[in-house]
Structure formats: structure tokens, C-alpha cells
Amino acid sequence: MEQTRRSAHAAFSASIQRNYFMSQTLQQALHDRIVIFDGAMGTEIYRRNFFVNISFENLCLARPDVVRAIHTAYLDAGAEVLTTNSYGANRAKLMKFGLAEQTAAINEAAVKLAREVGGDDIMVAASVGPLGELPAFLDPLEILSEQVSVLAKAAPDFLMFETLASLADLDLALKSVQAASGVPFVLSFALDERAMTAKGEPAAAILKRIAASPLQPVAVGLNCCSGPGAMLHALETVLPLVDGRFPVIAQPNAGNPRSVDNRMLYMCSPEYFTTYAMRYAQLGVRGIGGCCGTSPEHIADMARSVSPLAKHARAVEIAPSAPSVPLQDPVPSAEKSSFSAKLMAGKWVNAVEIVPPQGYLLDTTIAKAKLCAEAGFDVINIPDGPRASSRVSTIVTAIKIQQEVGIETVLHCCCRDKNVIGIQADLLGCAAMGIRNILFITGDPPKLGDYPFASGVFDLDSIAAVKVQAALNRGVDFGGKSIGERTAAFCLVGADPNAIDMVRELRRIREKIDAGAEAVVTQPVFDTAPLLRFIESVPELADGSVPVIAGIWPLASFRNAEFMKNEVPGVVVPDSVMQRMARPETREAQRLEGIAIAREAVDAIRSAVRGIHVSAPFGNVATAIAVMKP
């Protein structure tokens, strides 16, 4: 019953999402948001008791009801792109089944079936698979161009060259698109975890060959070949090489198949698949779907967590309604709080992060805050639901600390859990209770935390949330109505100097500053060189007009270092640091080594930043104090 309810809700939400967005081209959609692609076709046909001794593509003619049902299942799961059942519908492969003369009819039917299911609400990708080895009497370019030409005439939204396995396959695909009459196309490659083809050709060579072509794809992708984990490693190599020139699409297999009772099964659960899909999204991938072994269940689970992120593009475009009253001049940054006054005066600041408890008793949290205040920290940074966890109200925690300890707080404002009305209400509440320093973050999706079935709201992202506060700071709410006295919040935002997609990260920090951000707090810094390059790339950060506070995480153990390196998006732990953390034999010795590494990082960046934001791993504020006050 519960599963049925969730499926119905997912289908309804997906319908709303599609109706809002699908007037766009693929290029527009990938620019604006994360697009949900469908999953495997071949393994879904196999699951319906059609075996590999027949042409799966011929089912478009022989059993259109089967193909239509698979498309419908993906549509209901939340897919915004349906991929045609034409992967192997070229003359050479159809010849093996005596179907060569049906090449045009099969490809036309493949596009027609996907279009019938999706209507005008979704995009149709015409699948073109690699040719593989051909008999000597067949011309590869002629064979592929025939299929591409027929598919193009059937009017899909774009062509999808899938599972390209070599530079030779790439060259053939690029030559064949000349028969496509201007239909947009995507090039998707089968790469291993090293981002290499089966022939040992690196991703850099592939992208160089694409750049040299007069015909350019609307996106590049990775599909098949590897499971979710291996594809993550490949993407970490590919995305910096792409460097924002193309949107990137990721469609991994459901892991590697295993033999169970003489049956080949894919062991990757929908939940496991989705966890990696979220990592892809955080790296900057713009389209996510599945390949061999993935099912409508995988896509439904993934779409439920990834689709809310599509709202981010809409949120960035949200602007306050035209005010019906005159705007007040905002309070100068240096006058908003003691913390902002010190920061804007060019003085060094020390912030410490204390996570609110999962229960409601705050005595231990208050005691930790007192220790940090006595040690000389300027402010207590209070994260809101880190890693999508549920904890006591951060506003209540901030009020108690400020009242009982007498030290200012920096409150995180997370966009995950509340709509724009709720967020604005909290910001007004902060003004009423004297919470003046607010760090705006988008937040981790629920799928990454302890409550995977919770809804992520994401009416706003961090950029739009700063716009809300900037309006309040001028005396109007987000609807343009007067709030009476202006608020005086000091707006901080996050930044990731190690972002895989640095073009996107620099664009977003630019938008955050334009929205009203007055200071930047970075992700934890272990390798200082990327931070220094990042600062130099943004004029306001380089000249100090928007101060930078560097995140510092003193590693608590080698195991903690492994977790940070492998599981926390936006954090890069260099191999040299991992080697240092592995040397000490005891956990306490490893903690001391982590403190030493953190101190060295602070010394290396001191001249480039205005302060540090030190985390207290596992709530151990003594470790944070040791970093700040050696």
C-alpha cells in the first residue's frame, strides 16, 4: 500500500515537473537543471521473457505493446527523456536475423512508439549503438549513416550515440551525423574507472577529437561499461577536462552482473544507485539516467531525489516582487554584528563549528560553546541538518548559546526543508532574536541522510535565499511588502575551491556575490593550492572586499580521513595527507597528526584569507581549540 502511494505521488510530481519544463530543447534543459533520463531497454525486454536469440529492436514492429509498456514505466518513474528501442537497429545487426530490409521501418517505429508514450511533454532520444565488427563487404559509414538518416527523418528531439568504445567509433559517429539534417546529437562513451576506452584511449584524446570537429554535440556522456562507483571515478577525471564546454550526462550500469542459480543478475539496488546519482549531481553532471540492468524502479528512486534539485535553476531566477514601498538603505556590513565588524576591519577571525544535538537537551552544547568562547573563538558556527540529519532547532540552539554564553553565532539557513514562506519567517525570527550572522546553504538532499523518504523542498537555493535576505535588509519582504524596520543580517555563503566543475562553481560564487553575499566560507581545505587559485579567480575575493574564511577540518583518525576523502562531496584529501594519517599506530597519535596537518594548512593560507572556520570532529572541541590556539 505504502509503495503504491509513493509510486502514485512520484508519477504525479513527475508530471508536474515535465509540464513545467518540457517546452525546452535538450541544450536549454541541461543548462537550466539536472535532466532525468530513462534506464535500460534491453534488460527490461529480457525481464519480460524475450531472449537474446531474437532481435529486440524488431519488437517495435512485432510487439509494440511491450516496447510501449517499458516506455510508459519509465515515464511514470519520472523520466524526462525516453530513449528509443533502436540501439542495434542498423542493417548489419538486423541482417543476422533476416531483417535487413526492415531497417527503416524498425527505426521509424522506435521513434513513433516513444513519441506516442511521451507526447509533447517529454523528449525523445533516438538511440544509435556502435556497429562492432562488420563483414568486409559492408561499409561502416554507409551502414551507420542509413540508420542515422532514418532516425533523423522520424523527428526525435536528438540523436543519442551510445556506448562509443573508441576514437574510431567517435570518428564514424561524427561523419554519420552529416546525414542527420541538423538534428542535435549527444556523444556518450563507454569508459572504465580510469576514464579510458577499452583500447586504452584516454578521455583527453576523445575530447580533443570532438573539439576539432566542425560538428559539435549538445552534450557528452558516459554510459554502460561500469557500475555507479566506477563511473564516479571516471567522472572525476572527465568533468575537469570538459571544463564547462559541454553538459555531461551519466548513465551507469547497475553494477556488474553476477551469476545466481545460472541467471545473470544485477545486484545494485535502487537506493545504492540513487546514492551515486546524488554524487554525480554534486559533481556537476547535468543529465542522469541508467544503462544495462537499471529498471524503472532505479529511475523512480533516483528521480525522487534528483528532481528537487531541478528547482534550483528556477530559484536562482526568482526575484523579489517590485516593492510597493521605498527601499531602505541597508545597514553597512561592518555595523551588522561584532563578528562582521572585526571581519570587515581586516582583522583575523576564528570560528568553530558545533553541531546541535540529535536530542533536545542543550547542556553539553552550551558547555562546549563556553570552552570555545574562553579559548578565544569569535563566533560559534551552527550547521543546519548536516548530511541531511535531523537535530534540535538551530535557531533555538543559537539563541541559547548567545544568551547563556555571550558569544555570537553564525546560523546556517538551509533551503532543503522549508519553502520560501518558511525560510522568510525564520529570517525574520532571527532578526527578532538578535541572530545577525547567517550562512546560506542549499543543503544535502534527504537521500544522502538518515531520512531517505523525506521530501526535499528546495523552493530556493543558496543564491535565491541570499536574495530573500537582501530584500529584508532593505525593509521589504519577498513579495515586495514593507516589513517596517529593515533587518541587519550579515550574509555569508559557501564555496568549494575543489569543485570538479570549476566553471560552474565560479559562476555560482559570482551570482552569490551579486545577490548580496558579504563573506565566503569554504569547504574544508587540505590542499591549499586550489584555494589560492580560487581566490585569485574572483576579483572581490582577491582584493578582500568579500572576505574569505577557510574551512579547516582536523582529521581525527586515518578512518576519518578515508571517510572525508571518499564520502564527503566537495572535500579533497590529497594522497600525501592520507599517507601521513596512516603512519601513526594509535588513534590518539593519528588525531595529533590531524591537528598538525590542520595547523600547517592555516599557516599556508593565512596571508590569503581573513580567518578560519574550524570543525570539531565528532564533537571534540578540544581538537578545534588545539588548531586555533597551538
Residue 12 has pLDDT above 80, yes or no: no
pLDDT at 577: 94
Question: Between 128 and 505, whose confidence is greater?
Answer: 128
pLDDT at 257: 57
SS3 at position 320: coil
Question: Facing residues of 460 across strands?
Answer: none
SS3 at position 82: strand
Q: What percent of the chain has pLDDT over 90?
A: 70
Which of 103-107, 138-142, 322-326, 338-342 has the weakest average pLDDT? 322-326
At residue 483, φ and ψ (nearest 5 deg) are -105, 10
For range 334-362, the mean pLDDT: 96
Query: What is the Cα 201 distance to its own chain's centre?
Result: 27
Cα dihedral 184→190→196→197 (10° resolution): -100
Residue 315 has pLDDT above 60, yes or no: no
pLDDT band at 132 (very low <50, low <70, confident <90, very high): confident
At residue 116, φ and ψ (nearest 5 deg) are -60, -40
pLDDT band at 309 (very low <50, low <70, confident <90, very high): low
pLDDT at 269: 79
Contact 490, 333 (CB under 8 A): yes
Q: What is the overall mean pLDDT for the chain?
A: 89
Q: Does domain 2-315 have CATH number 3.20.20.330?
A: yes
Beta strands in 300-459 (DSSP E): 349-353, 379-382, 408-414, 437-441
pLDDT at 18: 44
For range 197-201, the mean pLDDT: 94
Residue 447 has pLDDT above 80, yes or no: no
pLDDT band at 264 (very low <50, low <70, confident <90, very high): very low
Alpha-carbon gap, residue 67 to 588, rounded angstroms = 60
Q: Does domain 321-628 have CATH number 3.20.20.220?
A: yes
Express each pLDDT in 26-62 by its tens digit. 998 998 889 999 999 999 999 999 988 899 999 999 9
Question: Between 390 and 318, whose confidence is greater?
Answer: 390
Alpha-carbon gap, residue 387 to 489, rounded angstroms = 25
Express each pLDDT in 229-242 by its tens digit. 889 989 999 999 99
pLDDT at 1: 41
For range 141-151, the mean pLDDT: 97
Residue 261 has pLDDT above 90, yes or no: no
pLDDT band at 502 (very low <50, low <70, confident <90, very high): confident
Residue 20 has pLDDT above 50, yes or no: no
Place of cell 531483417: 99
pLDDT band at 349 (very low <50, low <70, confident <90, very high): very high
Express each pLDDT in 267-281 by its tens digit. 577 878 888 898 898
Residue 370 has pLDDT above 60, yes or no: yes
Alpha-carbon gap, residue 336 to 451, rounded angstroms = 36
pLDDT at 2: 40
pLDDT band at 215 (very low <50, low <70, confident <90, very high): very high
Parts of the chain belonging to CATH 3.20.20.220: 321-628
Residues in the chain: 630
pLDDT at 17: 45
Question: The C-alpha cell of 391 is what?
Answer: 537535530
**Is the torsion defined by CA of 302, 305, 311, 316 positive or negative?**
negative
For range 361-386, the mean pLDDT: 94
pTM over 0.75: no
Residue 6 has pLDDT above 50, yes or no: no
For range 114-137, the mean pLDDT: 93
Q: What share of the chain is helix, strand, coil (3-state, %, to 5)?
A: 50, 15, 35
Parts of the chain belonging to CATH 3.20.20.330: 2-315
SS3 at position 437: strand
